[in-house]
Amino acid sequence: MGTGATGTAIRAAALELFAARGYEGTTMADIGAAVGIRGPSLYKHVASKQDLLVELMTTTMDGLLELQRVALAGTADPVERLRRAVDAHVRFHARHRLEAFVGASEMRSLAEPHRGTVLGKRAEYERSFRRLVEEGVAAGRFRVPSARLASYAILDLGMGLATWYREEGELSENEVVWQQTEFALRLVGAG
Amino acid sequence: MGTGATGTAIRAAALELFAARGYEGTTMADIGAAVGIRGPSLYKHVASKQDLLVELMTTTMDGLLELQRVALAGTADPVERLRRAVDAHVRFHARHRLEAFVGASEMRSLAEPHRGTVLGKRAEYERSFRRLVEEGVAAGRFRVPSARLASYAILDLGMGLATWYREEGELSENEVVWQQTEFALRLVGAG
DNA sequence: TCGATCGGCTAACGACTGCTAGCCATCGGA
DNA sequence: TCCGATGGCTAGCAGTCGTTAGCCGATCGA
């Protein structure tokens, strides 16, 4: 059944190229060259260029949602719930910066119906964060002018990592995660 | 000398299309259609498609830097300085969401040497924000684990507007600006 | 009135794109 | 040993793109 390793290598190369040059700016020949084969040979492993993007974006959103689900399971305290959700959010963006960057900037290149699906997952993710803030406000633990704006701010905090975070940077993943979580809690007035 | 209005209309149409479909995903025919002419006719008004992007991105960064300069002029108090810088930052992103979005996501489509120029301006803008945080820390008015991370967080807060802010939204520009400024001050522990 | 300029247009070039067709070497299992 | 599957390859199709060339009607100052 072959090694199957090439399929993974192709997806990894596509991710890196989509992040660096954009979906439209990346050719199948580019992706092929990155794994040592010609463009047309790619079609022995993947159905189409669009398929590469679809799979990349849906698995990214699924991973993010799953991580959040796990982080929130079995915890009732609003402050602790937000802390865990932000931890998962930031950690995911640190570990998958390229996926996050492509996910945010290439939504337009995603064809229907997948575009709608991914947008739906993203809306669900955001709604979940807003609810976390509202829970904290209702419990008298947070103090914010607008739960919507606060949740957007927290989401943006983590998504920003996609731009500036580097694994080789001077700050470790844990340090960044801790500080961003601290920022998020200060932001909602739970410091 | 003609009206000159067409040149402006072309730039406005290009901005909207670049934001919606991306630079590579936008054709000269698209831009022409948006202003009621054919693709090739555009060359009576602009030098090239790349020129459209170059001008868009440099004027955006210049506007952002100039606004920051004005905001900081003649104020010494670190808290007030950060407050004004964040106000300008957020207000700019609210008023020029499309420019900000294109500026952030189409850097890759910008050819050298303009890419280097714009990146330099952006680095200067970021450095200025970091210095503001460091000033506040040095004066004992802010309390942050890392000035670098705090300044990134503040920058991301405003840049996020590019994604979710809408003029027709329920929150007015002033409300959003005020709340984001509040968030930024909480974030650096100056609440 | 006349001639230049302005700003549209179509035709077309040359390069490039995603993808298909079809060929062939390699190699593991029967 | 041989046969089929695997996974490379080149050639090429059918389009699209940015851009140039060259044409022509309208407008306007002299």
pLDDT in tens, B25-38: 999 999 999 999 99
**B150 interfaces chain A, CB cutoff of 8 Å:** yes
A28 contact to strand C (CB, 7 A limit): yes
**B147 contacts B137 by C-beta, under 8 angstroms:** yes
Tell me what the pLDDT averaged over chain A comes to.
Answer: 94
- Residue B144 CA to residue B148 CA, distance in Å, equals 9
Nucleotides on chain C within 7 angstroms of protein Cβ: 6-12, 16-22
How high is the pLDDT of residue B5? Answer: 52
Cβ distance B187 to A191 less than 8 Å, yes or no, reads no
How high is the pLDDT of residue A5? Answer: 53
Average pLDDT of span B124-147: 96
Pick from A24, A159, A160: CB nearest B25:
A24
Pick from B105, B155, B183: CB nearest A105:
B105
**A146 interfaces chain B, CB cutoff of 8 Å:** yes
Confidence of residue A1 (pLDDT cuts 50, 70, 90): very low
Q: What DSSP designation does A111 have?
A: P
Considering all nucleic acid strands, name the nucleotide whose C1' atom is nearest to the C-alpha of residue A47. C19
**B110 contacts A141 by C-beta, under 8 angstroms:** no
Q: Which domains does chain B have, with CATH numbers?
A: 1-46 (1.10.10.60), 48-187 (1.10.357.10)
pLDDT at A6 over 90: no
- Half-sphere exposure in the Cβ direction for B146 (13 Å, CA): 15
How high is the pLDDT of residue A190? Answer: 87
Cβ distance A152 to B164 less than 8 Å, yes or no, reads yes
- Residue B105 CA to residue A155 CA, distance in Å, equals 18
Q: Which residues of B touch A187 (CB under 8 A)?
A: 183, 186-187
**ipTM given for this complex:** 0.89
Determine the straight-line distance between the first and last CA of chain A, rounded to whole angstroms: 55
Average pLDDT of span A60-67: 97
pLDDT at B4 over 70: no
Give the best residue of B155, B170, B186, B188 to mutate against chain A (max A CB count within 10 A).
B186
Tell me what the pLDDT averaged over chain B comes to.
Answer: 94
Cβ distance A149 to B22 less than 8 Å, yes or no, reads no
B37 contact to strand C (CB, 7 A limit): yes
pLDDT at A111 over 80: yes
Q: Can you list the pairs that B137-143 forms with residues at least 24 positions away whose Cβ atoms lie under 8 Å?
A: B139/B78, B141/B78, B141/B79, B141/B190, B142/B78, B142/B82, B142/B188, B142/B189, B142/B190, B143/B188, B143/B189
Contacts of B98 (CB under 8 A, 6+ apart): B15, B16, B19, B162
A186 contact to strand D (CB, 7 A limit): no
Q: Which residues of B touch A21 (CB under 8 A)?
A: 108
Pick from B108, B152, B183: CB nearest A164:
B152
**A156 contacts A84 by C-beta, under 8 angstroms:** no
Q: How far is A84 from chain B (nearest CA, A)?
A: 18
% of chain A at pLDDT higher than 70: 97
